[in-house]
Amino acid sequence: MQALVALPVLLPMLGAALSVLVSRRASLQRAIGVVMLVAVSVVAAVLLVAADAHGPVVAELGGWPAPMGIVLVADRLSALLLLISTLVTLAVLVYAIDQRIADYGRETASTTFHPIFLLLSTGVSLAYLTGDLFTLFVAFEVMLASSYVLITRRTTAARIRSSMTYVIVSLTSSLLFLTAVALVYAAAGTVNLADLAGRVDQLPPGLVTVLGLLLVVVFGIKAAMVPLHFWLPDSYPNAPAPVTALFAGLLTKVGIYALLRTQTLVFPQDHPSTLLLVIAAVTMVVGALGAVAQDDLNRLLSFLLVSHIGFMLFGLAVYTPSGFAGTALYVVHHITVQATLFLVSGLITRRTGTVSIQQMGGLARTAPRLAVLFAIPAITLAGLPPTSGFVAKLALLRAGAEAGLGTGVVAAFVVSASLLTLYAVTRVWVRVFWGAPKDPLSDDDPNDELVVGTARSARGMYVGASSLVVVSILIALFAGPLSAVTGRAGEDLQTRDDYRVAVLGPDVEPGGPGAQPVAAVPDGTGADGTGADGTAMAPATAPEVTP
């Protein structure tokens, strides 16, 4: 079972290498990607069952035990998000494969798309499973390098320039992250998350606050929370539909996961966070208002993505097991729905030849399947009952009501943002799907993969989008068992004991003498004259030297 924990990282990496080797055989290249992601999905499902039944599953890489060595940890939260993320990645790959077949023919292979796509999956898996901050930094760098290649493939020079915003902001975030890792190590003497859970409590409160806020900024940039969101609406719409769907579904959620993991395990609180509550409320409203003002369909969906990041931050800010559980449930729901909407947006723009909502119309008559594929995730995102979005928002509202008045005020912002989301998607429905049908516009640049206007979409593209709609429906149908799993995950995040014992072992006390910060001079005496265990020590004397 421990060996399985490494497979979600190793399999996509191996698939990327094999994909390069067979880059001239298109069918084999496609098969490798699909097979690897199916295998990762099966492994993730097994890990979820094992973690839910027996606790976290830990793999010590290279045989080095924690906290000295690198560990991969699959607990309820990481295994659940790994499973749903891999399923979404698989559906997006099916969509992308048939889109390329429709555009370039069945025999045209790709030397970059499939390997980089699988490397991005590797980075996502590593981010969910890693047990230390530095490896999490490495995971983000793998995702950054892969995403930069994907976001600039087969697009225009102007769009590449706008995508540079994404790269510059991501590199800045990475620099801040590396600085934070260095500061944490300097202060606590470790970057292992389970070990930090025992050591950080012994640091000065002011230093702990600074380190916690620095990581909030780093992961807040990754998650696109307001006011650190400005890069997302300008970057995501510039990529082809499969790439945008993958980014929207996964990359921002990895940032939310990193926030959830570090703020509960390393920097826990016993009361709601006023700062995070304010940020959550502002993120919800600013994103929703930005969406209402858009005419570009992809930019509208991008602003809705920003808005719903606020919902996830709200559950974290409550700092209760029910709040954590609500955030986990909302992440599962949103990964699926947001990716679906961007895939459907790709189908719409391929048919109409434009991303302008004003220039579309009548698709309910000419493309009824497309209308259904948009309607279901749209009402799910708005949170209408009995969809998965309604179940997830209800869990967040209940957590806010239980936590007190301040969170109840922010819960009102949840309702307001949901109504604005409903208005935004309704406006899209009215202008895009109702009215008289309009002829597709001609494609200004046939060499890119953004807007086609040919009214041609391969069957596999509909299969990829439809499969995610089915997953969203299944989340609503099995909301009871899924809520039970996220509820237990929320309890795990609150107590932290299972995670720490699984990583450090039953004989290691995370807060004991072995977990003291490294702040001693070579003779073992601290700078303040105390020993490693905090007790006073006699001054060190030089050893006797006999002539």
For residue 454, pLDDT beyond 60: no
Q: How much is the pLDDT for 94?
A: 92
Q: Are 258 and 222 in contact (CB under 8 A)?
A: yes
**Model pLDDT for residues 182-241, shown as the tens digit of each residue:** 999 999 888 999 888 888 888 898 999 999 999 999 999 999 898 888 888 888 877 788
Q: Are 150 and 243 in contact (CB under 8 A)?
A: yes
Tokens at 263, concatenated = 């703020």
Angle between helices 479-495 and 26-54 (to 10 degrees): 70
What is the three-class DSSP state of 110? coil
Average pLDDT, integer, range 119-125: 94
Average pLDDT, integer, range 336-351: 91
Q: How much is the pLDDT for 316?
A: 92
Q: What DSSP string runs through 149-199?
A: HHHTTT--HHHHHHHHHHHHHHHHHHHHHHHHHHHHHHHHS--BHHHHHHH
pTM value is 0.87
Q: How much is the pLDDT for 504?
A: 85
pLDDT confidence of 517, banded at 50, 70, 90? very low
How far apart, in whole angstroms, are the C-alpha atoms of residue 175 and residue 487? 35
Q: How much is the pLDDT for 547?
A: 33
How would you classify residue 438: left for phi > 0, otherwise alpha for psi between -120 and 50, otherwise beta? beta
Tokens at 445, concatenated = 């640049």
